[in-house]
């Protein structure tokens, strides 16, 4: 067990054998033997490895339960194998803690995810996706107003959302299936509007997979779904009108804050719905590029989202005496002293993450 856990923890931390060896002050050859099961670390070495990897020693004895299937990375072509292993390793580690916690709460507050009934079997045009996005909002009783927190909306419906510092800010994230549960992982470094678009894009994969005509590009279809889900067509027309030749940047910035959809996302929505002609959309893209706004949009960034369910369930398990304070701190990956301060709402420790 220790060999598998050690290898996973090293990948999750993004460390090579040599880098971990330097941190733990042992040889890379020794670590290689530990990872292959040819040797077992002593308790002292295990403590050093735990410290070097930023985990508690209990981590090495947690049963391996998570298997990722149907892993789908977005915009991964520029990332090397080491970075992708780091992303996957961190996601697995977080999911293992989530599943371990859920086993302690068999009657938790979240029902398993289910695809809504009544979705069309075949989708032949991108325009049809507008109706699917609207139908899903109706099924989930979301109305047509802006969605305050996409993370909460997904977690309440059985989709696990994790944020990872291992995912670079310019990399959208990944989606996968773990033990039959849909999982979306997004960058903890990305701005909130990018996180929201990534999560709803991956939701689009869940809704559209196996229904899209071979003539349609699945990524373009999921982008269309994400835009339509975050900003329904009826609301876009109310905000922008029926026909425009230009959209003011200040106008787009205000809409970004209202809906959590980027300024460029609003431009694309206007083009998709025929509000902004193709030539005008191209001109606006050129303008944004000339201003240096393609990678970093002007004005105030949309606040980052923060998954809440896991922490909520940890405190629920603690209050029901299902876990100890030490176990709660381990699950939240925090030192016990810090956890105790946060639990007692003491000082700066009670301030939410920024």
pLDDT in tens, 191-232: 999 999 999 999 999 899 889 999 999 999 999 999 999 999
Contacts of 250 (CB under 8 A, 6+ apart): none
Element (H, E) at 33: helix 28-36
pTM, full prediction: 0.81
Position 63 scores a pLDDT of 66
Domain boundaries, the chain: 2-64
Position 104 scores a pLDDT of 81
Residue pair 136/159 in contact (Cβ under 8 Å)? The answer is no
CA distance 13 to 188: 15
Give DSSP secondary structure letters for 283-324: HHHHHHHHHTTTTS-SSPPPPPP---HHHHHHHHHHHTTSS-
**Helix, strand or coil for residue 129?**
helix
**Helix, strand or coil for residue 70?**
strand
Position 250 scores a pLDDT of 97
CA distance 75 to 173: 8
Do β-strands 173-178 and 181-187 pair in parallel, antiparallel, or remain unpaired?
antiparallel
Position 351 scores a pLDDT of 45
CA distance 43 to 224: 53
**Which of 149, 205, 144, 147 is closest to 172 using CA atoms?**
205
Position 51 scores a pLDDT of 87
Position 10 scores a pLDDT of 86
Contacts of 337 (CB under 8 A, 6+ apart): none
**Which of 330, 334, 297, 241 is closest to 57 using CA atoms?**
330
Position 50 scores a pLDDT of 87
Do β-strands 68-74 and 160-164 pair in parallel, antiparallel, or remain unpaired?
unpaired
Position 9 scores a pLDDT of 81
- Max Cα–Cα distance, the chain, nearest Å: 71
CA distance 232 to 104: 39
Position 98 scores a pLDDT of 87
CATH architecture assigned to 2-64: Orthogonal Bundle (1.10)
Contacts of 220 (CB under 8 A, 6+ apart): 126
Give DSSP secondary structure letters for 203-269: HHHHHHTTTB-TTS-HHHHHHHHHHHHHS-HHHHHHHH-S--S---HHHHHHHHHHHS--HHHHHHH
Q: Write out residues in the chain with pLDDT < 50, as ranges.
A: 349-354
**Helix, strand or coil for residue 17?**
helix
> Which residues make beta-bridge pairs with 72?
175
Other residues' Cβ atoms within 10 Å of the Cβ of residue 30: 17
């Amino acid at each position: 067990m220790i060999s598998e856990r050690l290898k996973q923890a090293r990948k999750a931390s993004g460390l090579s054998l040599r880098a971990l060896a330097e941190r733990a002050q042992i040889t890379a050859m020794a670590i290689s033997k530990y990872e292959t099961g040819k040797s077992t670390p002593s308790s002292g070495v295990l403590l050093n490895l735990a410290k070097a990897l930023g985990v508690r020693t209990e981590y090495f004895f947690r049963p391996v339960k998570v298997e990722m299937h149907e892993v789908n990375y977005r915009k991964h072509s520029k990332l090397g194998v080491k970075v992708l292993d780091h992303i996957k390793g961190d996601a697995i580690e977080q999911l293992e803690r989530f599943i371990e916690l859920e086993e302690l709460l068999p009657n938790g507050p979240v029902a398993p995810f289910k695809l809504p009934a009544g979705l069309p079997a075949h989708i032949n045009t991108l325009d049809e996706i507008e109706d699917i996005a609207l139908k899903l909002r109706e099924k989930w009783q979301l109305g047509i107003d802006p969605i305050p927190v996409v993370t909460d909306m997904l977690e309440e419906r059985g989709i696990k959302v994790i944020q990872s510092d291992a995912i670079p800010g310019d990399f959208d994230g990944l989606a996968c299936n773990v033990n039959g549960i849909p999982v979306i992982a997004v960058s903890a470094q990305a701005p909130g509007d990018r996180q929201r678009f990534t999560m709803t894009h991956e939701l689009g994969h869940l809704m559209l997979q196996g229904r899209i005509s071979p003539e349609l590009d699945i990524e373009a279809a999921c982008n269309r779904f994400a835009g339509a889900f975050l900003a329904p067509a009826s609301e876009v027309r109310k905000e922008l009108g029926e026909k425009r030749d230009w959209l003011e940047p200040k106008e787009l910035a205000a809409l970004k804050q209202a809906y959590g959809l980027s300024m460029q996302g609003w431009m694309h929505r206007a083009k998709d719905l025929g509000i902004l002609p193709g030539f005008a959309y191209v001109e606006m893209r050129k303008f944004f590029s000339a201003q240096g706004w393609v990678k970093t949009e002007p004005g105030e960034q949309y606040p980052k989202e923060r998954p809440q369910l896991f922490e909520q369930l940890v405190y629920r398990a603690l209050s029901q005496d299902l876990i100890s304070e030490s176990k709660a701190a381990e699950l939240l990956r925090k030192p016990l002293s810090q956890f105790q301060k946060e639990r007692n709402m003491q000082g700066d420790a009670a301030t939410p993450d920024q």
